Amino acid sequence: MDKRTIRDIDVSGKRVFLRVDYNVQFDDGTILDDMRLRESIPTIRALQECGAKIIACSHRGRPGGKVVEELRNAPVAEHLGRLLGQPVRALRACVGPEVDAAVAEMHSGDVILLENVRFHAEEEDNDPEFARALASCAEVFVCDAFGTAHRAHASVVGVANYLPVVAGLLMEREIDYLERVIHPVRPFALILGGAKVSDKIGILENLAAKADLICVGGGMANTFLKAQGIDIGASLAENDRIEDALRVMRQAALRDDLRLMIPTDVVIADPGGERANTVSVNRVPPGFRILDIGRQTIEDFRDALQTMNTVVWNGPLGFFEREPFDRGTIEIARALAFLPHAITVVGGGETAAAVQRAGVADRISHVSTGGGASLEMLQGITLPGVAVLLDR
């Protein structure tokens, strides 16, 4: 990575504005997935070891510039405190006198968490005065919020106009691994799923020329099947993306060194989601929907992946939130976990959740915390939150 990190700047005893991505959900006071909090701990620890005073800033949800009680950051601070083994003070403001007073009382190693920054409309507008107010409490800006790096918001890019900005350790790791995918060690495989071709066509256009294998599943595979003239019953497809699918298939056919794999069998269900059955893609009855890849397709994908040196996966391969339509996604997650030599990178919130459910997250080289950010970076888009980091 050609950007500076916390290793390249002196933060000893300094006040650090730490932008994190703690956009997490709670259910009855219990956090549903604390991966983003856990992944930020190494950066916080590294700053504490230097005696820094850490002023953490995050958003939650989309409150639209208004205070929404259930989106306050207090429960996040409480959970973060448990992970750190020390109190984390939650403020009910992110700028102004309360913040100034709290920062003045801080000691080396202390952590405070500002209130949800999106309670202010100026955040998403990247308002310069709001960014200046956020920056006024600190001396250094450390951005560790890769999951928000595709947003040109005040707390992500605006603060960089007033403070020197470097990457945290999570941001560094995210960029390093995604750059390995953009410049892969071949053979290189893309596994693409999720609902829509439109969400992934940018990845295909950016990385297909470097790929040796492309496996397509999930709802987007339905569009590829329909482009081949296959009757997909009542399955969802993007009719306005048929030409995109045809273009990808034509380009793949022109290359002897690229294998494009589309499901040959699928798991289907009636409109009520009952009577799940596996059939050939050519045998989908009227009114039935395709909800997962079939057993033969799973085996074919798994076999093809065995020789890969780099694999990136974005998007589930079926309706994985519900059994038995999670089988294809879970099986491919496990297949990636046991590839002998490959660098494996999983991007996207749903795909990250899938490898967690499969119990193999610790065997994947890198599970990205940024769904939209990783998607854009894999498309070759420069992320605003990365562009503002100081160059080495």
Which is catalytic among the residues 81, 109, 202, 372? 372
Domain regions of the chain by residue span: 6-172, 184-378
Which is catalytic among the residues 81, 109, 202, 349? 349
At 59 the pLDDT is 98
Q: What percent of the chain has pLDDT over 70?
A: 100
Q: Is 349 a catalytic residue?
A: yes
66-122 pLDDT, tens digit per residue, is: 999 999 999 999 999 999 999 999 999 999 999 999 999 999 999 999 999 999 999
Which is catalytic among the residues 15, 196, 210, 283? 196
226-269 pLDDT, tens digit per residue, is: 999 999 999 999 999 999 999 999 999 999 999 999 999 999 99
Q: Are strands 53-57 and 15-19 parallel, antiparallel or unpaired?
A: parallel
Pair of tokens at residue 46? 């590294």
Distance CA 20, CA 39 (A): 10
Distance CA 177, CA 182 (A): 9
At 349 the pLDDT is 75
Q: Is 250 a catalytic residue?
A: no
225 phi/psi in degrees, rounded to 5: -65, -45
- CATH superfamily, domain at 6-172: Phosphoglycerate kinase, N-terminal domain (3.40.50.1260)
pTM metric for this prediction: 0.90
User: Who's near 132: CB < 8 A, 6+ residues apart?
Assistant: 161, 162
User: Who's near 243: CB < 8 A, 6+ residues apart?
Assistant: none
Long-range own/partner contacts, residues 232-237 (CB < 8 A, 24 or more apart)? 232/281, 232/284, 232/290, 233/268, 233/284, 233/285, 233/286, 233/287, 233/288, 233/289, 233/290, 234/271, 234/286, 234/287, 234/288, 234/289, 235/284, 235/288, 235/289, 235/290, 236/195, 236/289
Our measurement of the distance from residue 1's CA atom to the centroid of its chain's CA atoms, rounded to an integer in Å, reads 19
Q: Is 14 a catalytic residue?
A: no
- Cα→Cα distances 4→1, 154, 175, 182, Å: 8, 20, 12, 20
Class of 184-378 per CATH?
alpha beta
At 28 the pLDDT is 86
Residue found under tokens 């919020």: 145
Pair of tokens at residue 352? 């990250």
User: Who's near 12: CB < 8 A, 6+ residues apart?
Assistant: 50, 51, 52
Q: Which residues of the chain have pLDDT under 50?
A: none
Q: Closest Cα partner for 241 from 265, 189, 205, 213? A: 205
The answer to whether the beta carbons of residues 116 and 71 sit under 8 Å apart is yes
At 364 the pLDDT is 95
Fold agreement between 6-172 and 184-378: yes
Q: Closest Cα partner for 200 from 311, 312, 302? A: 312
Q: Are strands 26-27 and 30-31 parallel, antiparallel or unpaired?
A: antiparallel
At 205 the pLDDT is 87
Which is catalytic among the residues 36, 118, 151, 241? 36
The answer to whether the beta carbons of residues 149 and 385 sit under 8 Å apart is yes
Q: Is 196 a catalytic residue?
A: yes
In angstroms and rounded to an integer, the radius of gyration of the C-alpha atoms of the chain is 23
